[in-house]
Amino acid sequence: MNVYLLGTILNMATILMTAGCGSFLSVKGGNFNLGGEGQVYAGGFVGAIALCACKNLPAVIAIPLCFLISGCAAALMAFIPALLKRFRRVDVLLSSFLISAGVIPLIDAGVAGPFRGETNNLLATTFIPDKFFFPSILNPSRLNGTFFVAIVLCVILFLVMSRTAFGQQLEVFGISSDFADYSGFSDSKLTLISVTVSGFLHGAAGFFCTAGTYATCHSGFYAGFGWNALSVALISQKNPLLIIPSAILLASLTTGASQFSMMHNFGFDMGAMLQGIILFIIVFSPNIFYLVKGRK
């Protein structure tokens, strides 16, 4: 494995770890946030526009400010499904997906229309100022310091889930909502916080893509990040720290499958199918083992 491939894998793992923390948080609360793709896209799009608008500000002010703006834009997309569940009993799984599906074409129209950069031929926004672009720590790849930020987020999530009352209540609610209700836990509070923070983390992943990898928001960059982040969360199951190796594993499979498809003239669908088979074996191998053992 060369340095570029290693850096590319770890850089993709950074995005999956960040968004995976968001998916893990929502799943633990018994809600599947299926709007990850649109939330990542919204975070990257808003982040690119905000960074260009803040070009006269110093980086130490502009970057944290635009990071918050990006996260809040995606958090708003997740907050609406949480409200719909609270007041209309609409499942977050359905509403988050529909909102994401509606927002993505709007962002595509913005990227191809009024926000398209005039200095390039891509369907992309204007490139962000160089002073806001995160420097690489493993040339020639785009691996940057956000890799360590993503690891810190996983550690923080682990501490929240294992050491705080909120984390314990969220886990109980995810296991049995009826038992959580009888215990006096607030359904609306847990849902609003977990789903909204989930959206914020997906938006943060989009911001990392814009400011750390692409230096712009180009049409379709989000593809796969939301669903792969959900896969990372499901593989990690009960321990947020397992998000780190799970993200690296999935990033390796995705990057390796793409490289294999290009070098051996396979279709990219074949690479995706191989990736799915491997993930199926990883996720269900313990259940299959116990099933076979029980039949014996």
The rounded mean pLDDT for the chain is: 88
| This prediction's pTM | 0.91
Residue 22's nearest CA partner among 159, 226, 265, 293 is 226
Give mean pLDDT, residues 229-243.
Answer: 90
Query: What is the torsion angle, in degrees rounded to the nearest 10, for the CA atoms of residue 10, residue 162, residue 94 and residue 270?
Result: 30
What's the pLDDT at 296? 45
Q: How confident is the model at residue 29 (pLDDT cuts 50, 70, 90)?
A: confident
Please report the pLDDT score of residue 237 as a whole number.
77
Q: What is the mean pLDDT of residues 218-222?
A: 94
| pLDDT for 282 | 63
Rounded CA separation 187/229 (Å): 25
Q: In the predicted model, is pLDDT for residue 122 greater than 70? A: yes
Each residue's pLDDT tens digit, 256-292: 776 766 666 666 565 566 666 666 766 665 554 444 4
> Which of 100, 73, 46 minimizes the C-alpha distance to 210?
46
